[in-house]
């Protein structure tokens, strides 16, 4: 936490080294979170890229009182939600309705290199409702507290905790059934 505060302090005073360190420190967490929320490698990469670019441009506006990782995770979650909405508006099947899909298209310079365990977990996550998936991902991968997620989702803490509990139960069930096969 102290390192984050110092990094933000330096970043706000124009240190690109601090920005690079923040990027190195949290890029994997944010990519993993974006993948969990979208289950689309290309979209996840774009969102994390945009999230960092926006963060880089916000040094003058940035409030530093909160938790940096949560701040970045919330930024990714908001963008992921917008991406999903836009996708729905375009008449493409929403992730909630779709079966497990993983972007199988591999670009020559793909950022995330998928591994099997990662793909399996994302498949399982994608079978949760979006709200459940968001709570589980933000809490476990984004490091956000339930209280912070309530602000993001606009629901009570009980609802957030329920979504988390039911989400984990469902994940357990999905992964258990896979293991039995």
Partner 1 sequence: MRPSENIEKLIKNINIKTNAKTDKAVLGDIVEAFEQSKKPVLSEVEGKDSAITQPSIWRIIMRSRITKLAAAAVIILAVLIGLNFLGVVGRGNVTWADVTQNILDANTAMFNLRIGSGNQIPPFLVIAGKNHLRQELGGTSTIIDYESGKMLVLNTNMKTAMFIDIAGLPQAPPNFLERLQKSIAKIKNDPNAVIESLGKKEINGKEAQGIHAYSGTSVDLTIWSDPQTNLPVLVETTKLGQTLIVMSDFKFNVPVDTSLFSMEIPEGYTEQKQTKIDLSNLSEQDLVTCLKTCSELMNGRLPDKLDLDTIQQQIADFDKSVVTSMAELNQQQQRGMEIMTTIIRGLTFVQNLKGQWQYYGKDVPAEDDNSAIFWYKPAGSENYRVIYRDFNIREQVTAPAMPKSKPEESKEIKTITEKMDRTVLCLNNIAIVAYPGFMFEDGSIVIVWSSAEKRPGQEGWYVGQEGEVISFIDKSQIGLFENLKAGDALPKLPIVISALKRHNLLGVGGTTEYAGRHLAYTEKNGKIYEWSIYVPQAKEKSNPYALSFEPVMEFNPERYAEEWNKSLFKFPIGRARYIINADNFESVFMGHMAEFSDKGQTPIITLKDVLQTSEQIRSSLIK
Which residue ranges make up the site for partner 1 (CB under 8 A)?
2, 5-6, 8-10, 12-14, 16, 19-20, 23, 27-28, 31-32, 35-36, 49, 52-53, 55-61, 63-65, 109-115, 117-118, 121, 125, 136-137, 140-141, 168, 171-173, 175-176, 178-179
Q: How far is the CB of 86 from partner 1 (least distance, A)?
A: 22
Q: How far apart are CA 101 and CA 88, in angstroms?
A: 16
The secondary structure of 125-177 as a DSSP string is HTTS-HHHHHHHHHHHTS---HHHHHHHHTS-HHHHHHHHHHHHHHHHHHHHH
Shortest distance, position 168 Cβ to partner 1, whole Å: 6
Q: Nearest distance from residue 90's CB to partner 1, in Å?
A: 25
Q: 111-136 in b/e burial notation, b at 16+ Cβ within 10 A? A: ebeeeeeebebbbbbbbbeebbbbbb
Report, in Å, the least distance between residue 91 CB and partner 1: 29
- Cα gap 19→47, rounded to integer Å: 18
When the beta carbons of 114 and 159 are compared against partner 1, the nearer one is: 114
Question: Which lies closer to partner 1 via its Cβ, residue 61 or residue 89?
Answer: 61
Query: Of the two residues 88 and 161, which places its CB atom closer to partner 1 in the complex?
Result: 161
The HSE-up count of residue 53 (CA atoms within 13 Å, CB side) is 7
The smaller minimum CB distance to partner 1, of residues 97 and 109, is found at 109
């Amino acid at each position: 936490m102290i390192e984050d505060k110092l990094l933000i302090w330096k970043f706000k005073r124009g240190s690109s080294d601090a920005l690079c360190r923040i990027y190195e420190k949290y890029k994997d967490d944010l990519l993993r979170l974006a993948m969990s929320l979208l289950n689309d490698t290309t979209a996840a990469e774009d969102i994390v890229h945009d999230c960092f670019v926006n963060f880089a441009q916000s040094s003058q506006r940035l409030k530093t009182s909160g938790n940096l990782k949560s701040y970045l995770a919330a930024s990714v979650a908001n963008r992921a939600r917008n991406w999903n909405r836009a996708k729905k508006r375009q008449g493409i099947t929403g992730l909630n309705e779709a079966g497990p899909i993983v972007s199988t298209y591999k670009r020559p310079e793909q950022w995330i290199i998928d591994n099997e365990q990662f793909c399996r977990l994302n498949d399982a996550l994608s079978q949760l409702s979006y709200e459940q998936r968001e709570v589980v991902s933000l809490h476990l991968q984004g490091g956000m507290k339930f209280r912070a997620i309530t602000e993001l989702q606009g629901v009570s803490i009980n609802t957030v905790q329920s979504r988390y509990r039911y989400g984990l139960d469902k994940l357990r069930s999905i992964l258990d059934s896979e293991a039995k096969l």
